[in-house]
Structure 1
């Protein structure tokens, strides 16, 4: 396979990946995303454990959200979330983390029910 050459450029005020020698297939994009994620996970500084104060997060709205939930042999939970740009993202939660997630989602749902809908 020929190496894929990519440059990060600013186009109309947005950073874009521009491929200079080939147009990758969907499978090649998936492989690159996976490889970039593994590489980012191995370099310093690591991704912060907490969201930095004042950090702007780009929220991605899914028109057709999908999730799958499973259980590992050790009792931990697996949550697979489909992201239309990055594919399926898997998260493994030990019992304490699973409880934290459940409590947070329940509290958010209860909080949302108590507030009037701004329509």
Structure 2
């Protein structure tokens, strides 16, 4: 059963807000770019920020919502290695920070599910 239009708007806002954050405060994102990726971390930070903004815009528009929702699910899966890196890098930080980093790992599952449930909300 498809989700609501409100849910799609919230997902869109989350994606666009996160994408903008990649440009406003890029250092925090640079730090979690997996080392195995070619090029500079800042390049990946900007590319992923642009992807989040584009996918968020696609989710926002009813005509592109289904494709945007699938792209959002893929994007949430694609950033999982960055969350793993963050959890590993933060393993010696104070417990509250470590908990935040670890909580990001299972959070990807409901984000993917949310994105997939957003499909079908743009049809008349």
> Which structure's residues are more often strand, by fraction?
1
Task: Give the structure with higher Rg (CA).
Answer: 1
- Structure 2 length as normaliser, TM-score? 0.23
Q: Which has the higher helix share?
A: 2
> Which structure is richer in relative contact order (CA contacts within 8 A, separation 6 or more)?
2
The TM-score, its normalising length taken from structure 1, stands at 0.23
